[in-house]
Amino acid sequence: MQTQSRIPKLHDATFDGALLWFSEMQCSNLLFHPEDDPADIICISSGERLFSKSEVKKLRLLLNELDEAVGHEKVIEAAYPIFMNAFGNQLDA
């Protein structure tokens, strides 16, 4: 039996693709900072790791793909407005 992955698919390894992917991660309550190792993310309410070993592997591969395609700084830049939205801060357009 195959279970559906909680990790959204990266549609394009571009800045806009990264922006969409981080947004989908936020909608799934899985958003984390791309400079943090997904293996270290702990769910505050339960004290358990948020991601399984297979999810950690998938996330590391995905973030490496984005880093190689657009550069690490652009990945961080794509995550920024999603984090601001998650914290309730609206950015000026």
Q: How confident is the model at residue 93 (pLDDT cuts 50, 70, 90)?
A: low
pLDDT tens digits, residue range 26-49?
999 999 999 999 999 999 899 999
Q: Is the pTM of this model over 0.75?
A: yes
CA distances from 38 to 2, 18, 32, 61, 93 (A): 22, 16, 7, 11, 30
Q: What is the pLDDT of residue 65?
A: 97
pLDDT of residue 4: 81
Q: What is the pLDDT of residues 64-87, one digit of tens each?
A: 999 999 999 999 999 999 989 888
Angstrom distance (rounded) from CA 11 to CA 44: 30
